[in-house]
């Protein structure tokens, strides 16, 4: 919600930390999130851990299995399509709104974001680069001054990171930078219509770069299929 982070040890702080770890692919889909284990890591009791896991569960980043525990979510092909469908409804129009309100400072902040993303890539920190790439979309929503939509996009972006972890085909460098650069150009030109169109196409490109064929080999699902 707000930029200033919560005090360490609170459920919100733990949830934010876990969400970032998930977003950066340090916690891959399917990872078991034991309550005792997390409690020991963060030096808190299970009560607080459970609150954090419940929060992430509401955001569809963690999947709860009855009497089994919490696991980093593994979005299905269907869920993946739905997430990007939702993004395609929200983000293009939000980019339009953001463009109309955007200040020079906003544009500089976005540019700095991309620079940091490049720096992370050069440093071999692909997880951090992916995180920053997602934040770019969230920042645009924030600049549209629509906190409700921003919250929704934030959740969708994090879920997208899980989808990318599962269905990304080309492990090569993220070609997103080009699309983000083009968006900034539109912002500089104050061309809201173009920004909307660019965002729409950017999301379309993202979806088509995924391998969303039905019942493809999904890591971790094989095991579950055999368990039955």
Interface residues toward DNA, by CB under 7 A: 9-11, 32-36, 44-48, 50, 64, 66-70
| Candidate ranges 31-39, 103-111, 145-153, 211-219; the one touching a second copy (CB under 8 A) | 145-153
Q: Considering the rule CB under 8 A, would residue 197 count as an interface residue with a second copy?
A: no
Q: Which is nearer to a second copy, 58 or 100 (CB)?
A: 58
Under rule CB under 8 A, which residues in 90-119 are in contact with a second copy? 90, 93-94
- In whole angstroms, the minimum distance from the beta carbon of 111 to a second copy comes to 27
- In whole angstroms, the minimum distance from the beta carbon of 57 to a second copy comes to 9
82 contact, one of DNA, a second copy, none, CB 5-8 Å limit per kind: a second copy
70 contact, one of a second copy, DNA, none, CB 5-8 Å limit per kind: DNA
- In whole angstroms, the minimum distance from the beta carbon of 228 to a second copy comes to 20
| Candidate ranges 99-107, 117-125, 148-156, 207-215; the one touching a second copy (CB under 8 A) | 148-156
- In whole angstroms, the minimum distance from the beta carbon of 145 to a second copy comes to 9
C-alpha to C-alpha distance for 175 and 177, rounded to whole angstroms = 6
Q: Are 132 and 120 in contact (CB under 8 A)?
A: yes
Full 3-state SS string of 122-148: HCCCHHHHHHHHHHHHHHHHHHCCCHH
C-alpha to C-alpha distance for 140 and 191, rounded to whole angstroms = 15
Give the DSSP per-residue string, 8-76: TTSHHHHHHHHHHHHHTTSS-TT-EE-HHHHHHHHT--HHHHHHHHHHHHHTTSEEEETTTEEEE----
Q: Considering the rule CB under 8 A, would residue 48 count as an interface residue with a second copy?
A: no
Q: How far is CA 193 from CA 88, 90, 99, 144, 197, in A?
A: 15, 15, 9, 14, 6
Q: Considering the rule CB under 8 A, would residue 204 count as an interface residue with a second copy?
A: no
Q: Which is nearer to a second copy, 94 or 133 (CB)?
A: 94
Q: Which is nearer to a second copy, 95 or 110 (CB)?
A: 95
Specify the 3-state DSSP secondary structure of 210.
strand
Please give the residue ranges that form the binding site for a second copy (CB under 8 A).
51, 54-55, 58-59, 79, 82-83, 85-86, 89-90, 93-94, 146-149, 152
């Amino acid at each position: 919600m707000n930029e200033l982070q919560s005090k360490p040890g609170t459920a919100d702080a733990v949830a934010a930390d876990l969400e970032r770890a998930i977003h950066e692919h340090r916690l891959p889909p399917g990872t078991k999130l034991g309550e005792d284990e997390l409690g020991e890591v963060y030096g808190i009791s299970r009560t607080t851990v459970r609150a954090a896991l419940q929060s992430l569960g509401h955001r569809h980043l963690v999947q709860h299995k009855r009497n089994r525990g919490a696991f980093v979510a593994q979005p299905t092909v269907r869920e993946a399509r739905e997430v990007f469908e939702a993004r395609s409804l929200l983000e293009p129009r939000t980019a339009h709104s953001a463009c109309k309100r955007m200040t020079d400072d906003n544009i500089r902040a976005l540019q700095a974001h991309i620079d940091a993303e490049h720096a992370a890539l050069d440093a071999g920190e692909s997880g951090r680069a992916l995180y920053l790439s997602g934040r770019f979309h969230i920042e645009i929503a924030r600049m549209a001054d629509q906190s409700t939509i921003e919250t929704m996009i934030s959740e969708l972006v994090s879920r997208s990171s899980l989808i990318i972890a599962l269905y990304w085909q080309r492990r090569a460098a993220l070609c997103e930078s080009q699309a983000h650069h083009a968006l900034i150009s539109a912002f500089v030109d104050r061309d809201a219509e173009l920004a909307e169109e660019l965002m729409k196409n950017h999301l379309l490109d993202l979806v088509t770069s995924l391998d969303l064929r039905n019942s493809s080999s999904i890591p971790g699902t094989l095991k579950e299929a055999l368990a039955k």
